[in-house]
Amino acid sequence: MDSLNPSLSASDPKAALMKQVQQEAAINNARQLISKMNSHCFEKCIPTPGSSLSSREEKCFTTCMEKYMAAWNTVSRQYIGRIQKTAGGGAGSGGDMGEFGI
Amino acid sequence: MDQRQAQVDIDRLSDRDKRDLQQSINNEMQKAKIQESVHELTDICWTKCVTGAISSSGLDRKEEPCVRNCVERFLDANEAVLKHLSVMRGQGGV
């Protein structure tokens, strides 16, 4: 990818700036997902915290994380579909909100 | 350091580049706002729809339509609130 080109910033400051903005947005998005996922899955998987994380709890956590991402993607699709309907259909490049997954 | 680098770069941009950049940043901000809403909706609809123990990594046959309905009805409710508020304003408020 062109991000590996060290001279990019010098030769194309516009692209470099945009890349930085996009990276920060992506980090922010991921951070928010992680925070919500952590609290919801903690609620679900660790009702009574013991002295260490059991293997069952850990298994529950990974399953829960995948499920939360599936929920996020479903909500994203539904929400964007709704926005596009309200906007009168032809608006923008919808669905390009990114998907979470493994 | 990064800040200064960016400053120098901006000064070197043409007006057209600056306009393009502004446009791209506006797009990015709109995307961020939508993602923000998706986070909020996922939070609400997870609590509503994923009520049992976690057994599968995907949404099951009940959860999936529940989440989709949850999104639609939440937005309906939001619209209803706004609509009623405008009616109240028309009546001279509360």
Asked whether residue A29 carries a pLDDT value surpassing 90, the answer given is yes
Q: Please, which residues have CB within 8 angstroms of residue A83's CB and are 6 or more apart in sequence?
A: A91, A94, B34
Burial of B45 (C-beta count, 10 Å sphere; 0-12/13-18/19+):
buried
B66–chain A Cβ distance below 8 A for any pair: no
Higher pLDDT among residues B12 and B73, named by residue: B73
pLDDT at B44: 98
Q: Please, which residues have CB within 8 angstroms of residue B49's CB and are 6 or more apart in sequence?
A: A71, B59, B62, B63, B66, B67, B70
Quick one: which of A78, A68, A79 has its CA closest to A101?
A68
pLDDT digits (tens, 9 = 90+) for A52-95: 999 999 999 999 999 999 999 999 999 999 999 988 755 444 44
pLDDT digits (tens, 9 = 90+) for B24-52: 999 999 999 999 999 999 999 999 999 99
H helices of B12-62, in order, are 15-49
**What value of ipTM does the predicted structure carry?**
0.83
| Of A17, A70, A83, Cβ closest to residue B58 | A70
Residue A82 has φ and ψ, to the nearest 5°, of: -65, -45
Higher pLDDT among residues A102 and B38, named by residue: B38
Quick one: which of A61, A43, A27, A25 has its CA closest to B57?
A61
Q: What type of residue is A75? A: V
Structure tokens at A11: 């030769």
B12–chain A Cβ distance below 8 A for any pair: yes
Query: Average pLDDT for residues B54-58, to the nearest whole number?
Result: 95
- Inter-helix orientation angle B63-90/B15-49, to 10°: 110
Measured between beta carbons, which residues in chain B are less than 8 angstroms from residue A76?
Answer: 35, 38
Q: Which positions 42-81 of A are in contact with B (Cβ < 8 Å)?
A: 44-45, 60, 63-64, 66-68, 70-72, 74-76, 78-80
| Of B20, B28, B42, Cβ closest to residue A75 | B42
- Name the closest residue on chain A to residue B18, using Cα atoms: A14
